[in-house]
């Protein structure tokens, strides 16, 4: 199972003071050295963390691949078509949210997201759609001919007790269904060092995208150690 390291919150710290440190380029390079299989970043419409320039500077530097998260809007699609990351993950975005709060609604926005996905695919970018673990949404992904999904694990992370178990069951079912239909399945959001184990046990998942918890852990044990520790947990539990 692969680990995609989301470096948005390295940029959050930089933007808090408008400095040029900490460097997102160093963060990406060191994460790759510590075992990251891809580098994920989200260019938000409000530019609260990543800036346009970061994308252009990171792209030639990455030894693994860039997974760029974007809202499905013209401005962002234009930038993606210029930067040409290996992967684009389309995510819903609301300005007032603290983080990406839900999955895309592919039923409501079918035509819009299908057209954007087709444009990106035609430019050689692999498209992933960020959705909740819901079979109806997966059916729409298949109808759009998009090859990859990322399942939102935020509810699993937030819930406790029975609700957490039910959400985990839904994630497992969604993974099995999507795999059977030939999709590549990633997952992420809200995963940390104590809750990632149950998700990592779902062997059919290709990649977990994790950011906030790794940045937080790095404060105490260092960035490379934090990435390596997460990679170790994922690898161990994916085998068990
Ligand atoms: N995957 C997607 C699609 C996201 O939007 C985010 C948050 O930017 C993540 C994964 C990583 O979430 P977290 O920072 O909670 O690990």
Residues 117-172: pLDDT tens digits? 999 999 999 999 999 999 999 999 999 999 999 999 999 999 999 999 999 999 99
CA 134 to CA 130: how far, in whole Å? 11
Residue 26 confidence (pLDDT):
98
Q: Is the CB of residue 216 below 6 angstroms from any atom belonging to ligand 1?
A: no
Residue 165 confidence (pLDDT):
97
Tokens of 223: 């960035």
Band the pLDDT of 100: cuts 50, 70, 90: confident
β-pair type (148-152, 126-131): parallel
Give me the phi and psi of 71, to 5 degrees please.
-75, 145
CA 123 to CA 126: how far, in whole Å? 9
pLDDT tens-digit profile of 24-69?
Answer: 999 999 999 999 999 999 999 999 999 999 999 999 999 999 999 9
Catalytic residue IDs: 42, 69, 189
Q: Is the CB of residue 214 below 6 angstroms from any atom belonging to ligand 1?
A: no
CA 110 to CA 113: how far, in whole Å? 6
Quick check: 86 and 66 in contact, CB under 8 A?
yes
Q: In this structure, which residue's CA is closest to atom 5 in ligand 1?
A: 100
Mutate-to-test residue for ligand 1 from 101, 188, 200, highest number of ligand atoms within 8 A of CB: 188
pTM of the entire predicted model: 0.96
Q: Is the CB of residue 150 below 6 angstroms from any atom belonging to ligand 1?
A: yes
pLDDT tens-digit profile of 173-227?
Answer: 999 999 999 999 999 999 999 999 999 999 999 999 999 999 999 999 999 999 9
90-104: average pLDDT: 82
Tokens of 155: 């509810």
């Amino acid at each position: 199972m692969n680990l995609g390291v989301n470096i948005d919150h390295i940029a959050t710290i930089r933007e808090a003071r408008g400095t040029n440190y900490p460097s997102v380029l160093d963060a990406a390079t060191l994460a790759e050295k510590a075992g990251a299989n891809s580098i994920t970043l989200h260019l938000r419409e409000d530019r609260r963390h990543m800036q346009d320039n970061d994308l252009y500077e990171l792209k030639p530097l990455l030894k693994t691949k860039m997974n760029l998260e974007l809202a499905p809007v013209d401005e962002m699609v234009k930038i993606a078509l210029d930067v040409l990351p290996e992967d684009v993950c389309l995510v819903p975005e609301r300005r007032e949210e603290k983080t990406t709060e839900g999955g895309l609604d592919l039923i409501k926005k079918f035509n819009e997201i299908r057209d954007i996905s087709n444009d990106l695919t035609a430019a050689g970018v692999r498209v992933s759609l960020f959705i909740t673990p819901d079979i109806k949404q997966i059916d729409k992904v298949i109808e759009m001919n998009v090859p990859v999904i990322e399942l939102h694990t935020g509810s699993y992370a937030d819930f406790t007790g029975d609700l957490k178990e039910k959400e985990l069951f839904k994630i497992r079912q969604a993974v099995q269904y999507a795999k059977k239909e030939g999709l590549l399945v990633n997952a992420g959001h809200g995963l940390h060092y104590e809750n990632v184990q149950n998700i990592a046990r779902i062997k059919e998942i290709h990649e977990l995208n994790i950011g906030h918890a790794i940045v937080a852990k790095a404060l105490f044990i260092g960035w490379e150690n934090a990435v390596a520790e997460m990679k170790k947990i994922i690898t161990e539990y994916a085998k068990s």
